[in-house]
Amino acid sequence: MDLLEEFGREAVFLIALLAMVGSLATTAFFGWETFPLSTYQRVLMYPLVLVALAGFTFGIGDLRPYALPFSLTGIPVAFYHYYLILTEPTRGCGFALPCVTEMRYVVFGYSLQPRYLPLLSFIAFTTITTLIILSEPKNKDG
């Protein structure tokens, strides 16, 4: 647990940064459109990069009040988006790039598909929330 307390903020930063770069890459490099629910997830993920960076750079004692509102709000948004994709693919993704499209990209042997982006976002938000809760030092006064 000491390792988690020592490097938890850095791990949160790396996960949030990877999620941010991944979401930007889908738009910039792959040309996938940004769906409305994806925009909300981006609005909730991008500040986490700055909060986590400030946390370990400036030694902020407790990141929970700053980071948890973003990550806890991102979990249900990403879950709902993925649920929409599973139940109504055209509504969950969009008409220009529906989730059922055959357009695929293979990166490191894995097929990237638009329908998996909200699932990856859900995993990132859940992991970040878990790391923030577990990595913050416990109050030793009481």
pTM (two decimals): 0.85
Fold of 2-135: Bromodomain-like (1.20.1550)
The whole-number pLDDT of residue 142 equals 40
Sequence spans of domains, the chain: 2-135
The band of 99, judged by pLDDT with boundaries at 50, 70 and 90, is low
Nearest to 48 by CA among 28, 24, 26, 73: 73
Q: What pLDDT digit, counting tens, does each position of 1-27 carry? A: 577 777 888 899 999 999 999 989 888
Q: State the average pLDDT for the chain.
A: 83
Residue count of the chain, please give it.
Answer: 142
CA distance 52 to 31: 29
